[in-house]
Structure 1
Amino acid sequence: MTVTNILSDKQRETLSGSLWFFPLVMTLGALVLGAVLSQVRVPENGPLSPVLYHGGAEDARRLLLGVATSTVGVFALVVGLTLVALQVAGNRYSPRLVRSFLRDRATQVVFGLFIATFAYNAAGLYTVGAQDDYPRLAVTIGLVLLFACIGALVFYVDRVAHSLQTHSILNSVGVAARRAIEALPPGIGRSAGMSGLDGVPWDEPPVGAIQLLAPRSGYVQRLQMDALMRAALAEDVVIQLVPGIGGHVVAGTPLAWACPANGGSVRPEPLARAVNRAITIGAGRSSYNDVALGAIQMVDMALLSMHVFDYHTVEQSCAELGVLLGRVAGVPVGPEAVIDSTGTIRVLVPGLYFQDYLELACGEIRRKGSSEPVVLLALVKQLRAAGATATSQRLSLVRRELELVRASAEADVHEPHDRERVLREVDRTLLLIGAGQPERPAIQLADQ
Structure 2
Amino acid sequence: MTKPSIRSATAVMRDALRTQLWPLPTIGIFLAVALGVTLPRVDGHVDRELPASLVIILFGGGADAARAVLVAIAGSLITVTSLTFSLTVVTLQLASSQFSPRLLRTFTRDRFVHVTLALFLATFAYALTVLRTVRTADAGQQAFVPQASVTVAFLLTLTSVLFLVLFLAHLARKIRVETMLRDVHTDATATAQRVLTDPANDQAPAPELPAPPSTAVAVCAANSGFLSRIDEDALLTAAVDADAVVLIDRRPGGSLVAGTPIGLTWPRIAESFLPKVRTRLVARVTSAVSTQFERTSAQDAEFGLRQLTDVAVKALSPGINDPTTAIHALGHSAALLCSLAGRALEDRVLLDRQDRIRVVLRRPDLDALLDLAVSQPRRYGAADPAVLARLMTLLREIAWTVHRPDHRRAVTRQLNRLRATIEAQDFDATELEQLAHLADGVRHALSGRWISS
Task: State the TM bucket, normalised to the shorter chain.
Answer: 0.7 to 0.9
Measured at CA, do residues 127 and 277 of structure 1 come closer, stay the same or move farther in structure 2, by a change above 3 Å? Answer: farther
Give how far 1:290 is off: 1.3
Aligned length, in residue pairs? 432
Matching residue of 1:345? 357
Give unmatched runs, 5+ long, in structure 1: 438-448
Q: Partners of 2:197 and 2:300 in 1: how far apart? A: 10
Name which of 113, 121, 124 aligns with 1:115.
Answer: 121
Matching residue of 1:441? none
Give how far 1:97 is off: 0.6
Is 2:196–2:343's contact at 8 Å kept on the other side of the alignment?
Answer: no
Give how far 1:273 is off: 5.6
Matching residue of 1:376? 388
Stretch moving more, 50-59 or 213-222: 213-222
Amino acid of the structure 1 residue aligned with 2:290 = T
1:399 aligns with 2:409: no
Matching residue of 1:331? 343
Amino acid of the structure 2 residue aligned with 1:332 = A
Matches of residues 109-148 of structure 1 in structure 2 within 5 Å?
109-130=115-136, 131-148=142-159
Matched residue of 1:222: which SS?
strand
Q: Partners of 1:375 and 1:184 in 2: how far apart? A: 31
Matching residue of 2:434? 421
Measured at CA, do residues 83 and 402 of structure 1 come closer, stay the same or move farther in structure 2, by a change above 3 Å? Answer: same
Matching residue of 2:139? none
Amino acid of the structure 2 residue aligned with 1:114 = F
Q: Partners of 1:377 and 1:195 in 2: how far apart? A: 40
Amino acid of the structure 2 residue aligned with 1:110 = T
Give how far 1:237 is off: 2.2
Q: Partners of 1:276 and 1:186 in 2: how far apart? A: 25
Name which of 57, 71, 74 aligns with 2:80.
Answer: 74
Measured at CA, do residues 105 and 346 of structure 1 come closer, stay the same or move farther in structure 2, by a change above 3 Å? Answer: same
Matched residue of 2:259: which SS?
coil
Measured at CA, do residues 388 and 48 of structure 1 come closer, stay the same or move farther in structure 2, by a change above 3 Å? Answer: farther
Is 1:233–1:346's contact at 8 Å kept on the other side of the alignment?
Answer: yes
Measured at CA, do residues 403 and 386 of structure 1 come closer, stay the same or move farther in structure 2, by a change above 3 Å? Answer: same
Give how far 1:392 is off: 3.6
Matching residue of 1:302? 312
Amino acid of the structure 2 residue aligned with 1:293 = F
Is 1:238–1:346's contact at 8 Å kept on the other side of the alignment?
Answer: yes
Matched residue of 1:318: which SS?
helix
Matched residue of 2:316: which SS?
helix
Give how far 1:11 is off: 4.4
Stretch moving more, 407-416 or 316-325: 407-416
Amino acid of the structure 2 residue aligned with 1:306 = L
Matches of residues 38-437 of structure 1 in structure 2 within 5 Å?
38-41=40-43, 42-44=46-48, 45-46=50-51, 47-130=53-136, 131-185=142-196, 196-197=208-209, 207-263=214-270, 265=274, 267=277, 271=281, 274-276=284-286, 278-307=288-317, 308-393=320-405, 394-434=407-447
Q: Partners of 1:85 and 1:193 in 2: how far apart? A: 49
Give how far 1:385 is off: 2.1
Matches of residues 4-43 of structure 1 in structure 2 within 5 Å?
11-41=13-43, 42-43=46-47
Matched residue of 2:42: which SS?
coil
Is 1:86–1:101's contact at 8 Å kept on the other side of the alignment?
Answer: yes
Give unmatched runs, 5+ long, in structure 2: 137-141
| TM-score under structure 1 length normalisation | 0.88
Deviations 1:21-73 (A, max 9, x none): 11111111111222221221243542532221111122112211111110011
Stretch moving more, 331-340 or 117-126: 331-340
Measured at CA, do residues 5 and 278 of structure 1 come closer, stay the same or move farther in structure 2, by a change above 3 Å? Answer: farther
Matched residue of 2:226: which SS?
strand
Deviations 1:253-291 (A, max 9, x none): 334433222336353565456445543321111012212
Stretch moving more, 62-71 or 179-188: 179-188
Is 1:186–1:245's contact at 8 Å kept on the other side of the alignment?
Answer: no
Measured at CA, do residues 13 and 211 of structure 1 come closer, stay the same or move farther in structure 2, by a change above 3 Å? Answer: farther
Is 1:187–1:335's contact at 8 Å kept on the other side of the alignment?
Answer: no
Matched residue of 1:38: which SS?
helix
Q: Give the RMSD, CA atoms, in angstroms.
A: 2.9
Q: Partners of 1:395 and 1:352 in 2: how far apart? A: 16
% identity of equivalent residues: 30
Stretch moving more, 281-290 or 387-396: 387-396
| TM-score under structure 2 length normalisation | 0.87
Measured at CA, do residues 191 and 253 of structure 1 come closer, stay the same or move farther in structure 2, by a change above 3 Å? Answer: farther
Q: Partners of 1:435 and 1:411 in 2: how far apart? A: 29
Q: Partners of 2:175 and 2:211 in 1: how far apart? A: 43
Is 1:94–1:304's contact at 8 Å kept on the other side of the alignment?
Answer: yes
Q: Partners of 2:32 and 2:132 in 1: how far apart? A: 15
Give how far 1:179 is off: 0.5
Give how far 1:110 is off: 1.2
Deviations 1:262-321 (A, max 9, x none): 336353565456445543321111012212111111111111111222111111011000
Measured at CA, do residues 228 and 187 of structure 1 come closer, stay the same or move farther in structure 2, by a change above 3 Å? Answer: farther
